[in-house]
A and B are shown apart, each in its own frame.
Chain A
């Protein structure tokens, strides 16, 4: 089995185009999401609660919106702003009090995190200029009541990054194995193996081991780029993260084997693989929360295998939870492994 496993790894390395694109697709999404986040560093996302009817407050809002450094949105309640800050979707929460007249000391309040001190200083300076404090000898802080809070526990990017790990593993496992096996069947490679005394389980094991290794490499690359290049804050135990990655990959490889049995050509296998994978990406909440899905959709979302995988990855990766805390998700994935293995064994055909 070892020579066949090594051969499979060798084939993946030599089939550079296929392997590159399999790895690059989720990485591309990491870069896209990462760049969206980096884009925010050039300006500051700020939510404003305007409690004043005074002309000065309207003038401040207009000037704030006109300033290219700020991306401004107006909100009604402090709770909304605070939850936005906690989720990492805004960086500053500005509250204009009812009695604001543009000159009084400590006239506005600004809440922000300690994530980027340089940006915070620049924001304070810019804001104080808009408040006409630049001629004053006082520091901006004298005019702005500031509150610095710790960096939120997780950002949207952290959330998406772990979603992208799941997405990459799932698409690569399902589609690459379905297309590969379908190709092997069409070219009679499987038949050639079948006439040797190699036990069939060894053939499957060698394929699965090679793909699990690729899944680990893929997860490491995605997480490394997310953490090192785009500053994601993933602090969970890497061994537990990899355990979930391997368990999820095993489910999706089995689905790939099943797809390959149900299709007669590599292109059909690819099409069917995509048809299975793409809806799962959205239903499992890879990019967005699925709690607001209508009708029976939340039930479907809970039933698909990507959901427990992402849930476990996020619990461990973002909340730094121990593996015991995701035992229900592991049990669900384990059940998926058993079920998909049984179906794959039942339906798989060499001819």
Chain B
């Protein structure tokens, strides 16, 4: 597949702290590529190097087969950037901000600010100032601003952080629309479900290192366990009941006195057997939850840490 971004052996340190530690990955044209990791994993630093804001200590960063540091202006004309936290001129309205940003780009690539506001459903607020928008509206506006130069690649840094579930879903829909228009998307997130929903390929980062890069399905496939069953019982399981469950070749974790997580190695047959055992062993259930393993499990397996708790 045609390569949009190539990163090789990228390293960046700040005063002795290695924020990005020898990472390599590539992003294909037309895909949504996610970088998943907890806060402080090095995701934003990686993006800022791609955006040309920061210089790496070592490594190669090519976008459209051009070095970002030698062709910074040329590349900046062809990429759109939504920063993790970004304000706009306080005394300008939405239309004026977009018009000003458009003036920074060659006229051949400028988008119509009104059409962009229409695309993100903010036409009625076009004469309002950015600080009057809600969190979701502001994020939609920042994404619209990142599209002002009709970019071939759009870089989104945690586009849904701090948003309520409904606003988050609206942003997901918008990102899908951008992707459907043929734009390559590279985004960071620390939300597992966001990565699952949007990303075709994922890089998992932790403590500056890249621990895995693949499709979400393949990443889940690397796990020994396929299903996670959570049961809450009315009284702690007896030893004979636990022995019976262990015979399923399952990993059993006791989360609290009456809550157990049973990880099943095999397919649906072991799931059937588990349910039978629960009935036969007269395990009195209060709650039963069955789910395939998630990226959260992958992250836990790869790093030893829970993604959300970070």
Q: Which A residues are within 8 Å of any B CB, using their own CB?
A: 3-4, 7, 10-11, 14-15, 187-189, 191-199, 350-351
Docked-complex contact B83 and A15, CB < 8 angstroms: no
Q: Sample 13 A-B pairs with CB under 8 A, ordered by A number.
A: A11-B92, A188-B85, A188-B86, A189-B87, A189-B88, A192-B88, A195-B51, A195-B52, A195-B53, A195-B81, A197-B106, A198-B104, A351-B53
Give the docked Cα–Cα distance between A195 and B86 (Å).
Answer: 11
Q: Which of B98-122 contact A (CB under 8 A)?
A: 99-101, 103-106
Q: Which of B68-83 contact A (CB under 8 A)?
A: 72-74, 76-77, 81, 83
A193 neighbours in B (Cβ, 8 Å):
104
Give the docked Cα–Cα distance between A189 and B103 (Å).
Answer: 16
| Shortest distance from the beta carbon of A119 to any chain B beta carbon, whole Å | 49
| Shortest distance from the beta carbon of A126 to any chain B beta carbon, whole Å | 57
Beta-carbon nearest neighbor of B99 in chain A:
A3
Beta-carbon nearest neighbor of A203 in chain B:
B104
Docked-complex contact B83 and A4, CB < 8 angstroms: no
Q: How many residues of B contact A (CB 8 A)?
A: 28
Beta-carbon nearest neighbor of B87 in chain A:
A187
Give the docked Cα–Cα distance between A15 and B181 (Å).
Answer: 39
Beta-carbon nearest neighbor of B73 in chain A:
A197
B86 neighbours in A (Cβ, 8 Å):
187-189, 191-192
Give the docked Cα–Cα distance between A265 and B21 (Å).
Answer: 31
Beta-carbon nearest neighbor of B91 in chain A:
A14
| Secondary structure call for the B interface | loop
Give the docked Cα–Cα distance between A351 and B84 (Å).
Answer: 13
Docked-complex contact B53 and A189, CB < 8 angstroms: no
| Shortest distance from the beta carbon of B134 to any chain A beta carbon, whole Å | 18
Docked-complex contact A196 and B83, CB < 8 angstroms: no
B74 neighbours in A (Cβ, 8 Å):
197
Docked-complex contact B83 and A3, CB < 8 angstroms: no
* Interface assignment of B277: CB less than 8 Å from any CB of chain A: no
| Shortest distance from the beta carbon of B5 to any chain A beta carbon, whole Å | 15
* Interface assignment of B22: CB less than 8 Å from any CB of chain A: no
Give the docked Cα–Cα distance between A84 and B308 (Å).
Answer: 80
Give the docked Cα–Cα distance between A192 and B130 (Å).
Answer: 14
Beta-carbon nearest neighbor of B78 in chain A:
A197
Docked-complex contact B87 and A196, CB < 8 angstroms: no
A196 neighbours in B (Cβ, 8 Å):
76, 101, 104-105, 149
| Shortest distance from the beta carbon of A167 to any chain B beta carbon, whole Å | 27
Beta-carbon nearest neighbor of B146 in chain A:
A195
Contact of A7 among B89, B106, B149 (CB under 8 A): B89
A197 neighbours in B (Cβ, 8 Å):
72-74, 76-77, 104-106
| Shortest distance from the beta carbon of A277 to any chain B beta carbon, whole Å | 25
